């Protein structure tokens, strides 16, 4: 499975390279929904940064929604920080008199949470960009390129696909639907493969692996895989539009396949599928009566050599 990926966010680069339209109405809806707090919406910092210098009324609306969210989130974190500082102070007063398991546990928990909360506040207020700002995980929102009415469009979607027609609790019942195995495209994903395709622009992906140490014990690692040419890849995805009449959700899954030898040798059994640029239009405009052509696109993929190293 693709546990995490480094994804391009910069709208201007998408516009220059692919001639996309940015679906600002979808971004407005996403940021507005996050502020309502009706569901857990995780938006990478790099996506927010695309609206730091708004040029249109819709971009200005999104910028205002982001500023509002930062105020809401800062207030929540500061309240929790105050609570944990009080918890620590109370525990230390009790421990000065008598050592109890309850006070020791409160001291341990508060001592762990306080630096974490301070880090969250610092990160929320940070304006300088960092590479990790564009790294996405299951549940995060990602810019996905699709075709709508014959036009390439960039839309924010959640990285975990909720197929059309299923109940909302599907997410908890089937948490692994952020990846679509190629050998399941004609089965589990048959209502999506050939109907709703997209790509995300990826520069690296991350995987959990297990390696045997010299003493025979198992070491669990997170490895970062990236092309030795440092080229970006057009990773194939399947996506779905879901609604229950009240809530709407666009979400996607990365298509994965058997790994190339260097990924398998590093200890992982799956890999994303990078689409060749010359196949982009065919992939983004799928025809369910021509599934063999779409499978051929997945066969004739980009084939970079993936270098790997320990993830930071």
Using alpha carbons only, how large is the chain's radius of gyration in Å?
22
pLDDT single digits (tens) 204-224? 999 988 877 788 788 888 999
pLDDT single digits (tens) 147-192? 999 999 999 999 999 999 899 899 999 999 999 999 999 999 999 9
Query: What span, in angstroms and rounded, lies between the C-alpha atoms of 221 and 226?
Result: 16
Tell me the percentage of the chain whose pLDDT exceeds 90: 85
Angle between helices 101-125 and 57-97 (to 10 degrees): 160
pLDDT single digits (tens) 56-101? 999 999 999 999 999 999 999 999 999 999 999 999 999 999 999 9
Q: 125 falls in which pLDDT band (50, 70, 90)? A: very high
What's the pLDDT score for residue 269? 87
Average pLDDT over residues 2-10: 89
What's the pLDDT score for residue 90? 96
Angle between helices 24-36 and 57-97 (to 10 degrees): 30
Neighbour count for residue 201 (Cβ, 10 Å): 24
What's the pLDDT score for residue 1? 60
Adjacent-strand bridge partners of 146:
153
Mean of all residue pLDDT scores within the chain: 94
pTM: 0.91
What's the pLDDT score for residue 48? 96
What's the pLDDT score for residue 210? 81
Q: 245 falls in which pLDDT band (50, 70, 90)? A: confident
């Amino acid at each position: 499975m693709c546990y995490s990926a480094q994804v391009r966010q910069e709208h201007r680069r998408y516009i220059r390279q692919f001639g996309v339209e940015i679906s600002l109405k979808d971004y407005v809806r996403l940021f507005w929904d996050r502020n309502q707090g009706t569901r857990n919406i995780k938006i990478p910092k790099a996506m927010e940064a695309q609206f730091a210098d708004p040029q249109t009324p819709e971009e200005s609306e999104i910028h205002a929604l982001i500023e509002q969210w930062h105020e809401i989130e800062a207030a929540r974190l500061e309240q929790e920080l105050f609570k944990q500082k009080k918890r620590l102070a109370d525990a230390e007063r009790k421990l000065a008199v008598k050592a109890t398991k309850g006070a020791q546990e409160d001291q341990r928990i508060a001592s762990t949470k306080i630096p974490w909360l301070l880090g969250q506040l610092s990160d929320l207020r940070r304006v300088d960009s960092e590479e990790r700002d564009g790294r996405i995980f299951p549940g995060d929102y990602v810019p996905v390129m699709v075709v709508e009415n014959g036009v390439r469009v960039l839309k924010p979607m959640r990285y975990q696909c909720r197929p059309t027609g299923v109940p909302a609790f599907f997410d908890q019942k089937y948490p692994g639907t952020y990846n679509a195995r190629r050998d399941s495209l004609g089965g589990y994903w048959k209502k999506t493969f050939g109907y709703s395709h997209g790509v995300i622009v990826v520069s690296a992906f991350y995987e959990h692996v297990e390696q045997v140490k010299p003493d025979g014990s198992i070491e669990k690692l997170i490895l970062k895989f990236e092309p030795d040419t440092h080229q970006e890849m057009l990773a194939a995805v399947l996506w779905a539009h879901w609604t229950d009449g009240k809530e709407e959700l666009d979400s996607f899954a990365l298509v994965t396949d058997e790994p190339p030898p260097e990924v398998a040798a590093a200890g992982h059994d799956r890999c994303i599928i990078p689409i060749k640029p010359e196949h982009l239009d065919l992939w983004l405009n799928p025809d369910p009566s021509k599934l063999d052509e779409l499978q051929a696109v997945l066969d004739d993929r980009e084939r970079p050599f993936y270098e790997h190293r320990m993830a930071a």
